[in-house]
Amino acid sequence: MRGGRYKPKTKTKKKPPPPSKERHRSGSAQAHTTQGFPEAPKATPLLAGGRCCCAMAAESASSSSSASPRPLQPVTHLLFDMDGLLLGVEKLIRHLHQHNIPIAVATSSSRVTFEMKTSRHKDFFNLFHHIVLGDDPEVKDGKPQPDVFIVCAKRFNPPPLPEKCLVFEDAPNGVKASLTAGMQVVMIPDENLDKELTKEATLVLHSMNEFKPELFGLPPFD
């Protein structure tokens, strides 16, 4: 362009269209910014009982993918390792004795140790059909070998099948011995015991007071 200055053309800015009335109606399903674009929804953790729901869902998915617990089978005979089982045991023993359920003691304790522990409870231990101790001549190997439970079951008259026996234990080696003998086992572990060491038990309880006999086909408490 001769004799004149170059004047660049300026583009006129278009005014943005007015926001749609639909976006400002009360009850709208989406939130919007002042420019009319939808905001990304915020992830708000939902709490149930103080725990995040997503954590509960993850636990549920994990448990459903793992092997389901073994079903509880009816039993006819019960074996007790009395070393660590105290709270609630007398109520159960008297209940079983009243209903003529065969019961026995199978313990790793030697005779001297056992008699020292039970000297004040002679009447209570007379409720048992028999007692097998760790130094019994027929018990060749201690727990986790199953000898003490196999010998104990054999001394019922008549001897039951192993799968008809239910053992009460408080120690991991006792649980292993029971399962190796082919029996079911209820574990009442020390509260400080690693939970990994309780997983093999048929049923785990916090105390004997929680035991429900009917779960194993036994007469329920009155």
> Tell me: the pLDDT tens digits for 121-177?
889 999 999 999 999 999 999 999 999 999 999 999 999 999 999 999 999 999 999
Q: How far apart are CA 209 and CA 218, in angstroms?
A: 15
Note the pLDDT of residue 38.
38
User: Domain 53-58+83-216 maps to which CATH number in 1.10.10.410, 3.40.50.2020, 3.40.50.1000, 1.10.1040.10?
Assistant: 3.40.50.1000
Mean pLDDT of the 45-66 span: 30
Joined together, the tokens standing for residue 152 give 């104990």
Residue type, 105: V
Strand partners, 49: none
Ranking 86-95, 150-159, 167-176, 194-203 by mean pLDDT, the lowest is 86-95
Note the pLDDT of residue 32.
36
> Tell me: the pLDDT tens digits for 13-28?
555 555 544 444 444 3
Tell me how far CA of residue 128 lies from CA of 19, 69, 94, 125, in angstroms.
86, 31, 10, 6
Identify whether the C-beta of residue 142 lies closer than 8 Å to the C-beta of residue 174.
no
Note the pLDDT of residue 119.
87
> Where does the pLDDT of residue 214 fall: very low under 50, low under 70, confident under 90, or very high at 90 and above?
very high
Helix (H, G, I), strand (E, B) or coil at 109: coil
DSSP conformation class of 85: -
Helix (H, G, I), strand (E, B) or coil at 187: strand
DSSP conformation class of 38: B
Overall size of the chain counted in residues? 222
Per-state percent for the chain, helix, strand, coil, to nearest 5: 30, 15, 55
Q: What does the CA dihedral 133, 182, 188, 92 come to, rounded to 10 degrees?
A: -70
Tell me how far CA of residue 12 lies from CA of 15, 16, 76, 88, in angstroms.
9, 12, 95, 89
Strand boundaries in the chain, DSSP class E: 47-48, 51-52, 77-80, 103-106, 130-132, 165-169, 184-187, 203-204
Q: What is the overall mean pLDDT for the chain?
A: 76
Identify whether the C-beta of residue 144 lies closer than 8 Å to the C-beta of residue 177.
yes
Indicate whether 46 pLDDT > 50.
no
